[in-house]
């Protein structure tokens, strides 16, 4: 199907251009024409600022059921984790599909066209596999299709509850048993049954150095390498993880991953918060990416990661909403800069254009969709339009649209979302999920006793 979109204002990687016509066919952009002052005959007008589709590089869809509930009282990351386990214990393939469909629809309303789902709830409670051993992963893939967005399912190895010493790890605890395949080899055999499709790609993840014994890390890395697939890993999110790794292995988690072949240009470390100078150099020299999740990192009091130093060292940046305290990639981009300002007490670490690249092309690259994240012929026809006439965005001249989008707009200002040339969100209304708030309320309500 051929569709032409006329972009009132378009961010073309370096600047905002008025009047751009984008022709699409077969889900890809076939032509980009500038200096088009009015919509061509038959074209669909996208009024506002259109950018490449936003990429959410790190998601745990079921964490959306914790929003607000996890804000009651105080506590730590570890007490929050106990609440999370309770929700995870009640998931079934059907309930997870219903929840993820609603969450991914919320993402589409926020302008997100691809999600990286860090998926580790594999089996039934107690650890028994379903008849289809990938029933939970398939539910997520189907949910993304139903919500009209792309997904990279980062099937996650989660085999242990912690490190005992250099050669031993603790068995999974009660709520973690459904996460575990037993060994990395058994994980690889199950994950190999998952297949790419038009809207979905299969990647791998090491949950953390706590959850995968050191002598099994290479198995996961080799699986991803053999498939040229993205490989993600939670890395140094908590100082307790670093301390446990030092006690068991005499090195940092980053060094442990490097020594077992996990780092590299297809690998992305999630959070990368508590790093040494050597860690930063290792990540940069191997071109290992960094996915920052600022709204979750501040919600869980994790800390502010050294994103500036990591990028300077050679680690490409991407963004994720992680626990979904909010789902707003524009807020994640803004927070990257503003959190660094708080820490350094200086301004201007990234331009608005650089932050938009992190939110678009950077995330797509981390998720294995390198043909997306830019508005040019041959790219996937994934577009996000941000209104420039709301109470948050009205006033600035359109040529400052990138600055307006990053430093003033929010997910509520997304007007249109196009995925593969298909209009998934039109004028703020989801075309495939009729009532997203009700779908969220129903799916979340079913998970709370």
Catalytic residue among 322, 328, 339, 413: 322
Q: How far is CA 98 from CA 62, 80, 251, in A?
A: 10, 23, 42
**What pairing do the DSSP bridges indicate for beta strands 231-235 and 200-206?**
parallel
Which of 420, 441, 434, 448 has the alpha carbon at shortest distance from 105? 434
- For residue 195, give the DSSP letter: -
Catalytic residue among 119, 271, 274, 364: 271
| Assigned token pair, 371 | 């043909």
Contact 30, 16 (CB under 8 A): no
Q: Find out whether 30 and 15 touch, Cβ atoms under 8 Å.
A: no
Q: What backbone phi and psi angles, to 5 degrees, belong to 103? A: -65, -45
Clarify whether 60 is annotated catalytic. no
Burial of 82 by CB count in 10 Å (0-12 exposed, 13-18 middle, 19+ buried)? exposed
Copy the structure tokens of residue 240: 């307790």
The size of the chain, in residues, is 449
Beta bridge pairs of residue 31: 23
Q: CA-CA distances (angstroms) from residue 145 to 97, 227, 325, 431?
A: 11, 23, 23, 13
Give the position of tokens 């990591």.
Answer: 310
**Contact criterion met (CB below 8 Å) for 273 and 305:** yes
* Number of continuous H segments (helices) and E segments (strands) in the chain: 15, 18
Q: Is 322 a catalytic residue?
A: yes
Q: Would you state the structure tokens that stand for residue 447, as one six-digit string?
A: 């998970």
Contact status, residue 327 vs residue 78, Cβ threshold 8 Å: no
CB neighbour class for 427 (10 Å; exposed up to 12, middle 13-18, buried from 19): exposed
Burial (CB count within 10 angstroms: exposed 0-12, middle 13-18, buried 19+), residue 162: middle
The residues that are catalytic are 271, 322
């Amino acid at each position: 199907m051929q569709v032409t979109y006329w972009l009132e204002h378009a961010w073309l990687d370096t600047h905002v251009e008025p009047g751009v016509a984008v022709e699409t066919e077969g889900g890809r952009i076939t032509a980009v024409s500038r200096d088009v002052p009015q919509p061509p005959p038959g074209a669909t007008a996208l009024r506002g600022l259109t950018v490449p589709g936003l990429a959410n590089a790190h998601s745990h869809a079921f964490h959306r059921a914790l929003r607000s509930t996890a804000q009651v009282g105080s506590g730590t990351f570890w007490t929050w984790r106990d609440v999370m386990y309770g929700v995870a214990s009640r998931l079934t393939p059907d309930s997870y599909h219903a929840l993820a469909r609603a969450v991914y629809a919320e993402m589409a309303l926020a302008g997100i066209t691809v999600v990286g789902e860090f998926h580790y709830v594999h089996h039934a409670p107690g650890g028994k596999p379903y008849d289809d051993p990938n029933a939970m992963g398939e539910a997520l893939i189907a949910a993304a299709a139903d919500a009209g967005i792309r997904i990279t399912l980062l099937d996650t190895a989660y085999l242990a509850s912690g490190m005992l010493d250099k050669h031993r790890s603790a068995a999974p605890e009660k709520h973690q048993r459904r996460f575990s395949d037993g060994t990395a080899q058994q994980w690889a055999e199950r994950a190999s049954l998952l297949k790419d499709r038009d809207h979905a790609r299969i990647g791998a993840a090491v949950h953390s150095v706590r959850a995968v014994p050191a002598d099994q890390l290479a198995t996961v890395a080799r699986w991803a390498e053999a498939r040229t697939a993205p490989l993600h890993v939670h890395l140094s999110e908590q100082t307790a993880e670093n301390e446990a790794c030092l006690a068991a292995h005499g090195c940092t988690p980053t060094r442990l991953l490097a020594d077992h072949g996990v780092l590299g240009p297809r690998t992305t470390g999630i959070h990368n918060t508590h790093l040494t100078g050597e860690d930063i150099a290792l990540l940069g020299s191997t071109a290992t990416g960094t996915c920052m999740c600022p709204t979750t990192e501040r919600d869980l009091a994790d800390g502010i990661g050294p994103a500036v130093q990591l990028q300077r060292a050679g680690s490409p940046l991407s963004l994720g909403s992680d626990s979904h305290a909010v789902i707003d990639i524009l807020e994640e981009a803004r927070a990257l800069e503003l959190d660094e300002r708080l820490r350094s007490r200086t301004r201007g670490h990234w331009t608005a254009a650089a932050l938009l690249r992190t939110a678009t092309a950077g995330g797509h690259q981390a998720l294995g969709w390198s043909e997306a994240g830019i508005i040019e012929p041959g790219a996937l026809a994934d577009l996000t339009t941000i209104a420039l006439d709301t109470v948050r965005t009205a006033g600035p001249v359109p040529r400052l649209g990138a600055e307006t989008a990053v430093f003033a707009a929010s997910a509520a200002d997304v007007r249109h979302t196009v995925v593969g040339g298909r209009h998934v969100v039109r004028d703020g209304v989801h075309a495939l999920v009729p009532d997203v708030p009700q779908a969220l309320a129903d799916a979340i309500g079913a998970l709370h006793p």
